[in-house]
A and B are shown apart, each in its own frame.
Chain A
Amino acid sequence: MKIFVCTKQVPGISEVKIDPKTNTLIREGVESILNPNDRNALEMALVLKEEQKAEVIALTMGPPQAEEILREALAMGVDKVVLLSDRAFAGADTLATSYTLALAIKKILKESDSEENYLIICGSQAVDGDTGQVPPELAEELGIPQITYVQKLELSEDKIVVERKFRATEIVVIETKLPALISVLTDINKPRFPTMMGIMKAYENSNVIYFDSKNLNADISKIGLNGSMTEVKKIFFPERNGKRIILEGSPEEVVKKLCHHLQEDKIL
Chain B
Amino acid sequence: MSIKIDHELCTGCASCVESCMYGAIELNNNIAKVLPNCTLCGACIEACPEEAISLERGDIKTKKIDISQYKGVWVIAEHYKNKIHNVAFQLLRKGRELADLLQVNLTLVILGANFDDKLEEFSQYGMDEILYVRAPILKDYYSDLYVKVISELVVQNNPEIILIGATPTGRDFAPRIAKRLNAGLTADCTGLEINPETKNLLQTRPTYGGNILATIQTPSSRPQMATVRPGIFKIPEKVQKDVKIRTIEYQFKEKDSVTKIVKVISKTKNTVNLEDAKYIVAGGRGVGSKENFKLLKDLANVLGAELGGSRITIELNWLDPDRQIGQTGKTVNPKLYIACGISGAIQHIVGMQNSDIIVAINKDPNAPIFHWAHYGIIGDLNEIIPILIQEFKKLKSEE
Contacts and interface: CB of A to CB of B under 8 A. Distances in A.
Contact of B264 (A171, A244, A246): A171
A135 B210 CA distance: 22
B119 interface: no
A243 B183 CA distance: 40
B163 to A, nearest CB: 15
The range of chain A's interface size is 35 or more
Given A246-B376, A251-B387, A90 B216 contact: no
A195 to B, nearest CB: 27
Interface in A216-268: 220-221, 224-226, 228-238, 240-247, 251-252, 254-256, 258-259, 261-263, 265, 267-268
Contacts of A131: 175, 186-188
Nearest to B85: A167
A93 interface: yes
A258 B168 contact: no
A254 B388 CA distance: 9
Interface residues of B, number: 108
B202 A232 contact: no
B378 interface: yes
A128 interface: yes
Given A244-B370, A259-B392, A231 B216 contact: yes
A233 B46 contact: yes
Contacts of A108: none
B11 interface: no
A192 interface: no
A178 B349 CA distance: 41
A263 B391 CA distance: 12
B207 interface: yes
A168 B321 contact: yes
Given A146-B176, A174-B260, A224 B265 contact: no
Interface in B16-59: 18-19, 21, 23, 36-43, 46-47, 55, 57
Contacts of B180: 140
Contact of A242 (B176, B206, B358, B392): B358
A263 B392 CA distance: 11
B228 interface: no
A232 B216 contact: yes
A174 B262 CA distance: 5
Nearest to B55: A225
Interface in A19-39: 20, 24-25, 27
Given A13-B208, A234-B43, A238-B206, A169 B357 contact: no
A172 interface: yes
B80 A147 contact: no
B232 to A, nearest CB: 14
Task: List 7 A-B pairs, minimum CB-CB distance, nearest first.
Answer: A91-B40, A229-B184, A13-B209, A168-B322, A131-B187, A136-B175, A133-B175
9 contacts: A130-B209, A166-B168, A166-B169, A167-B168, A169-B267, A176-B258, A220-B60, A233-B217, A259-B391
Given A95-B179, A224-B40, A255-B391, 20 more contacts: A14-B209, A16-B209, A63-B36, A131-B175, A131-B187, A137-B179, A146-B172, A146-B176, A167-B168, A168-B272, A172-B263, A229-B183, A230-B217, A233-B215, A234-B47, A238-B212, A242-B374, A247-B375, A254-B377, A262-B357
